[in-house]
Amino acid sequence: MVAWPASPTNPEPARSSHDGRRMTLSAFEALPEEKPYLQWWDGVVVQKAVPKRPHRKLQSAFDRWLAEYGQRAGGSWGPEAHVWFEGHGYLVPDVAYWAPGKPEGDDERSLPPTLAVEIRSPSETQSGQREKCRQMRANGVDVCWLVDPASRTVELFEGAIEAEPLPADGALTSPLLPGLRIALTDIWAVLA
């Protein structure tokens, strides 16, 4: 469990008392909603990281880029969907997009999206975020992009590709998202 130091000049919200606890699905679903959101994977509650300014800026930008794309191509998109992975539980990608024809689920449970975008927060390890992308891919997400604002790197998870870093002058594209192209230079410009 992560300890969150707090100070009068930089207070951090307290971690949920449920973070790291093992519980049943019904007990998890009965919990009140918390921010940062709680996830439940293989019977253990895991709270998302507290997003810092770079994370929030990138999350807003990806939501906007996917909204623009979705308005052209169709489908559905949004930040922080509570995605249900049958047999494992809930994970909350930072931003998700469902291509036309990909089942979205309902108001209670979103189903795995076509694309999940994960933005690493300082309190999260790169290896932990890679594992989250691997788990999502193994359980129905077609493409995962892992963005690290600290190192200004983006890793791709798609098909046989796993944690492949894109070159600095590269762009995020996918055959499953025809017409979508996000240059890495545009991503880092958000942080300027």
Please tell me which residue, 13 or 41, carries the higher pLDDT value: 41
Top mean pLDDT of 17-26, 47-56, 176-185 is at 176-185
Evaluate whether 78 touches 46 at the Cβ level (below 8 Å).
Answer: no
Helix or strand (DSSP H, E) at 64:
helix 53-73
**Is residue 69, in this structure, part of any structural domain at all?**
yes
**Is residue 103, in this structure, part of any structural domain at all?**
yes
Residue 12 has pLDDT above 60, yes or no: no
pTM of the model: 0.88
**Is residue 65, in this structure, part of any structural domain at all?**
yes
157-176 tens-digit pLDDT: 999 999 999 999 999 999 99
Closest CA to 88 of 122, 127, 138, 128: 138
Question: What value does the mean pLDDT take over residues 50-70?
Answer: 94
**Is residue 14, in this structure, part of any structural domain at all?**
no
Residue 162, domain CATH: 3.90.1570.10
Number of domains in the chain: 1
List residues bridging with 103 in a β-sheet: none
Residue 11 has pLDDT above 60, yes or no: no
**Is residue 160, in this structure, part of any structural domain at all?**
yes
**Is residue 1, in this structure, part of any structural domain at all?**
no
**Is residue 34, in this structure, part of any structural domain at all?**
no
State the pLDDT at residue 35. Answer: 86
**Is residue 158, in this structure, part of any structural domain at all?**
yes
How sure is the predictor about 8, in pLDDT bands with cuts at 50, 70 and 90? very low
Map residue 190 onto helix, strand or coil: coil
How sure is the predictor about 13, in pLDDT bands with cuts at 50, 70 and 90? low
Evaluate whether 152 touches 126 at the Cβ level (below 8 Å).
Answer: no
Q: Count CA within 13 A, CB hemisphere, residue 18.
A: 23
- Choice among 4-8, 149-153, 179-183 with the minimum mean pLDDT: 4-8
Structural domain span for residue 159: 50-189
Question: What value does the mean pLDDT take over residues 35-63?
Answer: 91
